[in-house]
Structure 1
């Protein structure tokens, strides 16, 4: 361990990249775990004061999807409220009725549209929340409302609002110290759908667990106490948290994997520069096992310091992501990140594991360095390509080429997937074969400049240092290839989907929601055109299926996947909890899978909360609150942007991590290489080269290596993009424009180039000139041994 500490102290420059990679990796893991720990389901704030919650019967999908709670019928609600009220220890049993309402400011919906879906409640539900009336009185008749005191609306003032029925104006009777709008219970009953939660307020001293056990609900519901009450969280919040969790998991996996890659490549390049040093250790009696343990101890010492810095830094920076996560829909409103000690501990341990994995392979190879390598003087790399690189890289070329050979016989739907898989395999193969490919490419690129001193030195320097050049170019190759391929494929696919979806809309214009989650009934009735009302119905098993209300049907039209026959009577439970048998009048392939189409009036009668997504206009647009006119193309693009924004965020995070680590790998390789080339620079200096001339050679070498990696990455990604575009065009039967992500490409190459130049020039700037070889300059290991 003493020797390892001395090695780290004397060779600190060669460990900078490892330190940075591990610190960033641990910070990513620490911050991600803190976000994940804070993103677990919580008891909804509007129900937080209820010691016991009764949840309606739950349906768990057989495929493991999100559980759903089917609403009780009005009769079941009355029965449960009566039963709970008679249970010893219960002071009050209150059904929670929530509905959509949004404040109108200057005739336009204000606030968060997602939160507005459940922001309205009956006044009785206020008794389930931790909020209290701070001024005024409770609403006791239709048209009255208690508002959030933060809105600043005075008691007696008028509040314009938008509900699923349409615009209305309510009189403010009071203010409450929390979010939401509370109306009288009769109004809430008419605006809300069915009840899925009943909250119980207990008498002083009553035990929640004992009360829950005494309810005797049977199949009618499930009592929830303590942390179990988080199951009452709205389904939309549960789905939002799940999306955020996927991003966090992907971030941890990508960050950990790339950190291992960077540490491994850094250690491998460092080992190739330390062959004489390791040979000297072998010459004085060090065994391969001792060499492996030395290399492992070095990296673990670096990892410990980097891990502590990263673990603390990640935990402290994680709260900065609260707002962005809520803004893009990855977490519900009210999301807060707390300090998590276990997240810091786990991330620190993960950093040590990543370091050990990264150094393991290079340590095994380095430990077999012969003692005679201590006598080497030449720095020429005799074998930049190892047998394993040839085998795995060649296998990648065969597999990638084989997948590409399948394209002529594949269907239009299969082509984009085959192209993507083939290109990714070929990118990995190209990165592995980089030492054999980069040098000829660099010589070809620099051929016009071979007569100049700088061009000649760059050409000849790359010829004898293929590993160094490949270690710089390979990460750039992978980053450029993956970035261009993923972003280009996604953007081109978006273009194709937009063309296809627009072609399905015969109308030239639509009425779409503006600042609201959907169109109110009043907005729909004001337009001339066709529309569908989206809702949900429940089968006898409790399984929810999508229901669409349409004016074009008089009975029930079902998808074939439901297995129903024409003339069959099917009992359906609607959103208000009412069960009604409906006769199947049509089974059609035109109906989406697991969907039913019902008369619009029937759906509206049983689902007062339903909102319409769009009206396809057949006449002039009638301006109404919460609606705007869009062209068909603009509507399709906006609808795609809802999902596209999340995918863009996923891509940005994944590519940001990948490009960041790529920059670290490039910078560390060049930093170590520059420090390791002191004797070469000293020779140049003694033959008459100035510091500026030597610096120019180093900078050009770095940029040429980055350029070579960029060209190789584009050579794989661009043809794949053209093939993907052709497959998409064939699939939709229309011409699709290839979208080349120039901005992404410029950002990736710019970051890599800037870091490459900075890392190449840092040793010069630090020393105020050439990093010259000092007299008696020995390796750290030799000095330590001599001491």
Structure 2
């Protein structure tokens, strides 16, 4: 019976099939990306049998583990002890530093990789690298380069380091990545050592114990020493993947449940006939559940394969936009295929469950009903859930006056989301009054549309609800983000007093010391230091400053002595001389202990002096450029989330309109019998669908726009300056236009199909 029902009503299941197909594809592809995005052993350490990591500490505020660097004496002692262990072939400190190739006087290559692309040749064996042409670098000014660089032996290679520009002579070429120099140069340019690579003699049994000095890692556990920059990049990508899975799953449940609810409403007479011939409520529920499971299996398998095939194509774009580190690849993950198909089944059954329970209570007398008028557009469940969401959204809004400026945007977003759900649930209540206020065409079309809305509010609400959610979601998120960006730009520009600044070019992570020294102006040098507890703290090297100032929250009173460990691992006892918002130290002291530190900006007090890797710009332009790098990622998040939500919304609108039009065949046939032409009937259905889309847009704006004003008020209070409200008109037009086009197309499909069949019949008769 279930198979016969699916075959007979296949058009009614197309929306559910498409929603589940896309949902499973999103989940399958996302899981494949997530599996490939796990930390991996760096290529430069791939040939090690074990690595020793420096002591790690978990930050109090949470986040990634912090690896405290060893001091030079600790490194020498540990290397000697490891090297003396029976069976150990070599124990080598792994030093990295910033270096970028200069092309045309400007840094080239990936700036994220350049932070740790410089290494000492003594550690080349840890990656299994050997010279294939030339010889290893042995003296200052010599370098071995990867074959992919295309630089022959004997060539001069201009580079930029944290110290400044330099010219190195290429003495060797190898297969691999990075720039390898002599030990002395690496020691000068690199910071503290956090990793020691260990290689064993072939076949020799080795028992290593680093004791309290570090952590011994072997096998896949070596991935823990992946560069922090790569780990953070993977984390950003993981957030997008997780958000995609959750949004895709949530919207899929929403679409499937709304589709099934409308389908059950349109099948009341059919279900009443089943009840009249003896079907029990349980049998009706099982029928609907089994139908959906069959559709879920039919959609889940190809959907999982589609996602698995699409995921590898996203590896390149993920690396290009900074969501994954260089070398990221995606393979086939069989467990992801199985989990995604299972997730599709769960989503399908969750979406149809409430509708199936309601269908089991259909009375046999409903089989005798011929009228299409709805007896009760609002069920008790919709009233209850809608009222709860109104109370939740209103209650959060009442918290705004007493909340802090930082908490207001979060409260506004949460309140608006509850109210959007409430508006979707309570839409049938306001449909009829809104229809009376909304122009729906002149003459007979307008009369018919208003009359149909009065007796079929639930049908219009079913089309308006997904539009409402998409418009509200898009306007709220995009508008809040763009308004917040304006506020951040105002605040950051105000924090930079100079009219013009010198900053690193877009392809470099900062300014070299040579570029800073060439300018006339003030510049702080950011670095990191470690408290005696092991906790890391950001520090700033301030010019013409001779003290040691710390925030009071650290608990070090003025006059106390603190043993501060710097980025090179050296511990220096310092006496606290004052209190400030951040940790301030003399700039020369920070530079002496952190050769990898790079200033971000110089506040110019004189004309800009050209220097490799540096560029002059206004303070406002610098703030906008820095914000743009973060905005690009946020825009990508928004694009993915909105793409999924709007795509599903369009699917829900098209499917609901298509099912409604097919289900109204008798009503439309009656119109034809009373004199309406096919074009007039089609116009009536299209206008009614567009009216539903218009109602959804208006209801979505009614919730989102006040929330935007509240969010702007919170931002103004936070930055202490007027903030312009940014209304995302382009996003609104795109979402509303897409929904309108899909609704129009879905309304016309039955008429186009009938016209094609009629033309075919006349052709055959001729």
Q: TM-score range by the shorter chain?
A: over 0.9
What is the total number of aligned residue pairs between the two structures? 758
Q: Check conservation: 2:209, 2:216, Cα contact below 8 A.
A: no
Change over 3 Å in CA distance of 1:193–1:698 after alignment to 2 = same
Q: Check conservation: 1:121, 1:180, Cα contact below 8 A.
A: yes
- Match for 2:304 among 304, 307, 311? 311
- Match for 2:88 among 73, 87, 90? 90
Q: Check conservation: 1:675, 1:771, Cα contact below 8 A.
A: no
CA distance in 2, matches of 1:279, 1:152: 76
Change over 3 Å in CA distance of 1:409–1:47 after alignment to 2 = closer
Corresponding position of 1:500? 491
| Between 483-492 and 214-223, the greater mean CA deviation after superposition | 214-223
Corresponding position of 2:37? 39
Pairwise CA distance, 1:731: 3.0
Which aligned pairs between 1:707-786 and structure 2 lie closer than 5 A? 707-768=694-755
What is the SS of the residue equivalent to 1:511?
strand
Any idea what the Cα deviations from partners look like across 1:689-732, whole Å, max 9, x if unmatched?
A: 22222222222111111111001111111122122223322332
Q: Check conservation: 2:59, 2:536, Cα contact below 8 A.
A: no
Q: Check conservation: 1:764, 1:771, Cα contact below 8 A.
A: no
CA distance in 2, matches of 1:709, 1:745: 12
Q: Check conservation: 1:681, 1:771, Cα contact below 8 A.
A: no
Which aligned pairs between 1:648-727 and structure 2 lie closer than 5 A? 648-727=635-714
Which aligned pairs between 1:323-402 and structure 2 lie closer than 5 A? 323-402=316-395
- Match for 1:488 among 463, 479, 490? 479
Matched, 1:436 2:441: no
Corresponding position of 2:545? 553
Please report the TM-score for the alignment, with normalisation by the length of structure 2: 0.97
Pairwise CA distance, 1:455: 1.9
What is the SS of the residue equivalent to 1:145?
strand
What is the SS of the residue equivalent to 1:598?
strand
CA distance in 1, matches of 2:239, 2:271: 44
Change over 3 Å in CA distance of 1:416–1:41 after alignment to 2 = closer
CA distance in 2, matches of 1:651, 1:144: 47
- Match for 1:520 among 493, 512, 516? 512
Corresponding position of 1:224? 217
Q: Check conservation: 2:501, 2:602, Cα contact below 8 A.
A: yes
Matched, 1:249 2:242: yes
Q: Check conservation: 2:289, 2:353, Cα contact below 8 A.
A: yes
CA distance in 1, matches of 2:539, 2:652: 53
Q: Check conservation: 1:457, 1:697, Cα contact below 8 A.
A: yes
Change over 3 Å in CA distance of 1:157–1:144 after alignment to 2 = same
CA distance in 1, matches of 2:444, 2:133: 84
CA distance in 2, matches of 1:92, 1:518: 35
Which aligned pairs between 1:409-424 and structure 2 lie closer than 5 A? 410-424=403-417
Any idea what the Cα deviations from partners look like across 1:454-500, whole Å, max 9, x if unmatched?
A: 22222222222211110000110111011101110111111012112
Pairwise CA distance, 1:396: 2.8
Pairwise CA distance, 1:42: 0.3
What is the SS of the residue equivalent to 1:623?
coil
CA distance in 1, matches of 2:477, 2:254: 20
CA distance in 2, matches of 1:682, 1:84: 89
Corresponding position of 1:642? 629
Q: Check conservation: 1:764, 1:770, Cα contact below 8 A.
A: no
Matched, 1:102 2:100: yes
Change over 3 Å in CA distance of 1:86–1:398 after alignment to 2 = closer
Change over 3 Å in CA distance of 1:223–1:727 after alignment to 2 = closer
CA distance in 1, matches of 2:174, 2:711: 56
CA distance in 1, matches of 2:553, 2:403: 27
Pairwise CA distance, 1:155: 1.0
CA distance in 1, matches of 2:101, 2:458: 64
Which aligned pairs between 1:169-318 and structure 2 lie closer than 5 A? 169-207=167-205, 211=206, 214-318=207-311
Pairwise CA distance, 1:677: 1.2
Q: Check conservation: 2:483, 2:725, Cα contact below 8 A.
A: yes
Any idea what the Cα deviations from partners look like across 1:118-144, whole Å, max 9, x if unmatched?
A: 001111111111333221111110001
What is the SS of the residue equivalent to 1:612?
coil
Point out where structure 1 has 5 or more consecutive residues left out of the alignment.
773-787
Corresponding position of 2:607? 620
Q: Check conservation: 1:83, 1:215, Cα contact below 8 A.
A: no
CA distance in 2, matches of 1:120, 1:320: 30
CA distance in 1, matches of 2:434, 2:757: 29
Change over 3 Å in CA distance of 1:414–1:37 after alignment to 2 = closer
Q: Check conservation: 1:25, 1:259, Cα contact below 8 A.
A: yes
| Between 4-13 and 250-259, the greater mean CA deviation after superposition | 250-259
Q: Check conservation: 2:156, 2:169, Cα contact below 8 A.
A: yes
CA distance in 2, matches of 1:285, 1:309: 37
CA distance in 1, matches of 2:374, 2:656: 16
Change over 3 Å in CA distance of 1:513–1:399 after alignment to 2 = same
CA distance in 1, matches of 2:167, 2:320: 29
CA distance in 1, matches of 2:544, 2:706: 47
Any idea what the Cα deviations from partners look like across 1:53-100, whole Å, max 9, x if unmatched?
A: 111111123444211111111111111111111111111111111100
- Match for 2:448 among 457, 462, 466? 457
Would you identify which runs of 4 or more consecutive aligned residues in structure 1 move more than 6 Å?
none
CA distance in 1, matches of 2:144, 2:564: 36
Pairwise CA distance, 1:641: 2.1
Corresponding position of 2:68? 70
Point out where structure 2 has 5 or more consecutive residues left out of the alignment.
760-766
Pairwise CA distance, 1:184: 0.8
Any idea what the Cα deviations from partners look like across 1:371-392, whole Å, max 9, x if unmatched?
A: 0111111011111111222232
Any idea what the Cα deviations from partners look like across 1:324-374, whole Å, max 9, x if unmatched?
A: 211222111111111000000000001001111111100000111010111
What is the SS of the residue equivalent to 2:524?
strand
| Between 639-648 and 5-14, the greater mean CA deviation after superposition | 639-648
Please report the TM-score for the alignment, with normalisation by the length of structure 1: 0.94
Pairwise CA distance, 1:204: 1.4
CA distance in 1, matches of 2:181, 2:121: 6
